[in-house]
A and B are shown apart, each in its own frame.
Chain A
Amino acid sequence: MTIIDKKVLDKILYHVEKPGRYVGGEHNMVLKAWDSCSTRVALAFPDLYDLGQANLGLAILYEIINDRPDILAERVFSPWHDMEDAMRERKIPLFALESKRPIIDFDILGITLPYESIYTNVLNLLDLAGMPLHASERDESYPLVIAGGQACFNPEPMTDFIDAFVIGDGEDVIFEIIETYQLWKKQNLDKLSLLLALAKIAGVYVPSLYDVTYFEDGTIKSVDPKNEGVPKQVHKRIAPQLPPPIKKQIVPNIQIVHDRIAVEIMRGCTRGCRFCHAGIVNRPVRQRKVADVLKAIDSGVKATGYEELSLLSLSSSDHTEILDMSKAVYDQNKGRRLSVSLPSLRIESFSVDLMDELKDLKPGGGFTIAPEAATDRMRAIINKPLDDKILFETVETIFNHGWLNLKMYYMIGLPDERMEDLEAILETAQKVLQIGRRLRGNRVRVHVSIGTFIPKPHTPFQWAISEDPVSIQEKIDFLRDGMRQAKIKLSYNRPDSTLLEAWLSRGDRRLGKVIEKAWQLGAKFDAWDEGFIKEYWYAAFQECGVDPHFYTNRERELDETFPWDHISAGVFKDFLLEDYQMSLRGETRQDCRDGCYACGILDCFAQVRPSNEDVYWGCP
């Protein structure tokens, strides 16, 4: 096929909402001559441009691939409903933003799967591209479809549709995949040979090469490789060095979310909060040196013209040089118009000091803290200890240092949650508001944001039951009434909208047909509040004869084989189990930097470590 006819495209763009989503042409976009490259990769984020363009992982892959002379990477996002209708009506296949070439012309389609509610959009994307949904129905004439991202630590629900998954950091693996692909192409072999070769790459999971058997009760009996040379367990890849910061970040022409420079300062976290998926799957801790952060900021500002920057990590306070970093960032940028945000700070007065070091670079707006739970009992269950005295001291410092708005994150639906836990959230928020009013008067605003806990694979809570939406709604109602009376703003998600994530995140291969059915019935953009229509999903479950409660409403047996057990995040299942049992007993575990628990990750990066001595690793 050839490039999409510009006349036809322009005609439909004239009538759709925000046509700037579909045209590319941004500053720092890379458009390479198609014929100058032997391998072409389409990088897809299966949601709107407005969301996907901000994805840091995607931006890194885009840059490192395009840095190689013989390969090119282009971008593609999901079209919004109006654009999709227009494309289908005029039979315009899904195309890449840079060259406006159909996706089907590319060699590899790499899809980002950051969360589960994006799955139906993947199916829609494949369909719009004119490709069969099922990997088994796509022969070697179609692009190879690979997927990566945090949701891939349990790839099973999507195994029908994806040829190969990348588990863990993708920065090095992507080139091994491309090289394997190039070699295969030269040899003119069939698709199975490609899949077998890919399965030999560390960190690559080729689902079609495994057989899954089940017990009568529906749980997994075993997952076994079908072919010689296919690993029984796929270990995640660990990039020994954080990838170099993006040199030429694309500057969108339309407004998107997180429209700013992003600099990753640290990957991984050692805190061990039991609900946290990212904390486990991103181990071990690797941090960027202050000097490198400064370089990244300087080149980022010059390359983009942005006046906003965010220093990203799971827990900024834990960067060993964070105070120096704050000071140095200020010294470097004073006089520049730049606002620097430093999210994910621990609840302690030191965090306020860190922000103060940024002086006039710190962003306007509120201060955010995430206590997650309000009673000591619950804090022990989730392993996020926090002394109330320190919480209130910190809050005082925050108000005393000039902030008037405070946002607090809490979770509900946690294991063994009781009424007293919810009451404590309310009381804490009220007390915080009182402190604020006492110190700064009536201008003080407190905003509580409630997230619903969803048990995630590879975490100590992977055995736990997920609370049903009806009782979650009751809890929300209780908090809403209380907060309203206390004049505290409360935000929360519709309990229904978290259902999908709960089903899919601990799902197995049998959910593939449910996803497909739901999509056929009309499900897409499920991550959007208005997008998720639970009726489609219930109908799909019913038609496929699959019980959704199997995935949510049961506490797993301690010796159950999970659908994702053959995917290793580097952490032993025994370690997670021990931690889960500690949680049941209300016992905490300290930050493992203060004493290693031998979680298993050490073995995983033993090989890459000696050659990367200059990296700060959080592990002994």
Chain B
Amino acid sequence: MNPITPYRVRIRFAKLEGLRFIGHLDLQRLFERALNRTGLPLRYSQGFSPKIRLNLASALPLGFVSSAEVLDFWLNCPVELEEIKKSLQESLPKDIQIIDIEEIDNKRPSLQASLRSSVYRITIPISYAQEELIRGFNGLISKETIPFIRRKKTVDIKPMIESYQIEITPEASVLTLQMSSTAENNGRPDELLSFIKVDPADVIIERIQLIFEE
């Protein structure tokens, strides 16, 4: 059906505050339309109702911002990367900022398959007493298990926490967390907040890195 070898393109992009309340499926649709507007020779999926072939590494939960999202999409023929970047950026809302772009070997595994972990930065306002936060978090992390009820099923969050760091500044308390991001073990930093009595609505959670298996 599609004899030409597809040209696989990967972008890293930031999702800024104006779009933090747009969810994963909506973001996917947003990219479809933005790509469509560029007039690039887009590759479509095969089958009964072909769709633009694109692939987001990981669903960013509603309300989060990010400086490290990754998207793959495919073209029917090679196009100058800078040109792709320029035309796609022009057709995207300003709250999506392309950071860089590269060509990817078609044989490389899919983004989802190779994603291992995510790093999040949680900025907690000083209206939450800092010492209490540190105490609360240290207490939490020293526990054997951290059971949390996710869609009526209890999961243990503890093993999903790969590393952490708390930084106290006069402006805010900043918690940096690395959590696993695989299909089986998908860590949600906002779930930890309830244990330290922080309303996730009060904080900014930013994904600052996606870590892939190479």
* Structural contact, B50 and A11, CB atoms closer than 8 A: no
* Structural contact, A27 and B33, CB atoms closer than 8 A: yes
How many angstroms between the C-alpha atoms of A364 and B49 in the bound complex?
Answer: 9
For A10, A11, A255, A364, which residue has the most chain B Cβ atoms within 10 angstroms? A10
Contact flags B72-91 to A (C-beta < 8 A → 1, else 0):
00000000000000000001
A-B pairs with lowest CB-CB distance, top 5: A305-B33, A305-B36, A14-B201, A19-B21, A305-B37
Residues of A within 8 Å of B136, CB to CB, are: none
State which residues 29-59 of B face A: CB under 8 Å: 29-30, 32-37, 39, 44, 49-50
State which residues 224-264 of A face B: CB under 8 Å: 251, 253-255
Residues of B within 8 Å of A600, CB to CB, are: none
Given the contacts A20-B26, A337-B44, A13 and B21 also touching, CB distance less than 8 Å: yes
How many angstroms between the C-alpha atoms of A15 and B36 in the bound complex?
Answer: 33
Contact flags A274-313 to B (C-beta < 8 A → 1, else 0):
0000000000000000000000000001111111000000
* Structural contact, A20 and B21, CB atoms closer than 8 A: yes
* Structural contact, A14 and B200, CB atoms closer than 8 A: yes
How many angstroms between the C-alpha atoms of A152 and B119 in the bound complex?
Answer: 55
* Structural contact, B21 and A304, CB atoms closer than 8 A: no
How many angstroms between the C-alpha atoms of A304 and B36 in the bound complex?
Answer: 8
Query: B26 contacts which of A11, A13, A15, A255 (Cβ < 8 Å)?
Result: A255
Tell me, yes or no, whether A223 is within 8 Å of chain B by CB.
no
Tell me, yes or no, whether B109 is within 8 Å of chain A by CB.
no
For A25, A301, A305, A307, which residue has the most chain B Cβ atoms within 10 angstroms? A305
Query: B33 contacts which of A10, A12, A25, A304 (Cβ < 8 Å)?
Result: A304
Tell me, yes or no, whether A67 is within 8 Å of chain B by CB.
no
Query: A305 contacts which of B22, B32, B49 (Cβ < 8 Å)?
Result: B32
How many angstroms between the C-alpha atoms of A10 and B18 in the bound complex?
Answer: 10
A183 to chain B, nearest CB (A): 37
Query: B34 contacts which of A25, A302, A305 (Cβ < 8 Å)?
Result: A305
Residues of A within 8 A of B (CB): 10-15, 19-20, 22-23, 25-27, 251, 253-255, 301-307, 337, 364
Residues of B within 8 Å of A337, CB to CB, are: 44, 50
Nearest to B29 among chain A residues (CB) is A255
Residues of A within 8 Å of B201, CB to CB, are: 10-12, 14-15
Given the contacts A14-B201, A305-B91, A254 and B22 also touching, CB distance less than 8 Å: yes
Query: A25 contacts which of B19, B29, B49, B199 (Cβ < 8 Å)?
Result: B19
How many angstroms between the C-alpha atoms of A251 and B39 in the bound complex?
Answer: 17
* Structural contact, B93 and A26, CB atoms closer than 8 A: yes
Contact count A vs B, C-beta below 8 Å? 65
Nearest to A10 among chain B residues (CB) is B201
Residues of A within 8 Å of B91, CB to CB, are: 27, 305
* Structural contact, B21 and A23, CB atoms closer than 8 A: yes
How many angstroms between the C-alpha atoms of A304 and B29 in the bound complex?
Answer: 12
How many angstroms between the C-alpha atoms of A552 and B201 in the bound complex?
Answer: 50
State the majority secondary structure of interface residues on B.
helix
Residues of A within 8 Å of B49, CB to CB, are: 364
Tell me, yes or no, whether B63 is within 8 Å of chain A by CB.
yes
How many angstroms between the C-alpha atoms of A26 and B49 in the bound complex?
Answer: 26
How many angstroms between the C-alpha atoms of A53 and B104 in the bound complex?
Answer: 38
Query: A306 contacts which of B33, B35, B93 (Cβ < 8 Å)?
Result: B33
* Structural contact, A11 and B202, CB atoms closer than 8 A: yes
Nearest to B125 among chain A residues (CB) is A7
* Structural contact, B93 and A307, CB atoms closer than 8 A: no
For B18, B33, B62, which residue has the most chain A Cβ atoms within 10 angstroms? B33
Tell me, yes or no, whether B23 is within 8 Å of chain A by CB.
yes
* Structural contact, B35 and A305, CB atoms closer than 8 A: yes
8 more CB-based (< 8 A) A-B contacts, given A11-B201, A14-B63, A15-B201 = A12-B201, A13-B21, A14-B200, A20-B26, A25-B93, A304-B37, A305-B36, A306-B33
How many angstroms between the C-alpha atoms of A20 and B30 in the bound complex?
Answer: 13
B16 to chain A, nearest CB (A): 10
How many angstroms between the C-alpha atoms of A26 and B202 in the bound complex?
Answer: 25
**8 residue pairs A–B, Cβ–Cβ below 8 Å:** A10-B20, A11-B201, A14-B200, A253-B26, A253-B30, A255-B25, A255-B26, A304-B37
Residues of B within 8 Å of A364, CB to CB, are: 49
* Structural contact, B22 and A302, CB atoms closer than 8 A: no
State which residues 1-35 of B face A: CB under 8 Å: 18-23, 25-26, 29-30, 32-35
B122 to chain A, nearest CB (A): 14
B41 to chain A, nearest CB (A): 12
Tell me, yes or no, whether B95 is within 8 Å of chain A by CB.
yes
Residues of B within 8 Å of A11, CB to CB, are: 199, 201-202
How many angstroms between the C-alpha atoms of A13 and B33 in the bound complex?
Answer: 25
Residues of B within 8 Å of A27, CB to CB, are: 30, 33-34, 37, 91, 93
Residues of A within 8 Å of B95, CB to CB, are: 25
Nearest to A11 among chain B residues (CB) is B201
* Structural contact, A302 and B37, CB atoms closer than 8 A: yes
Given the contacts A11-B201, A19-B62, A254-B22, A307 and B37 also touching, CB distance less than 8 Å: no
Residues of A within 8 Å of B32, CB to CB, are: 305
Residues of A within 8 Å of B18, CB to CB, are: 23, 25
How many angstroms between the C-alpha atoms of A25 and B17 in the bound complex?
Answer: 11
A435 to chain B, nearest CB (A): 26
Residues of B within 8 Å of A26, CB to CB, are: 93
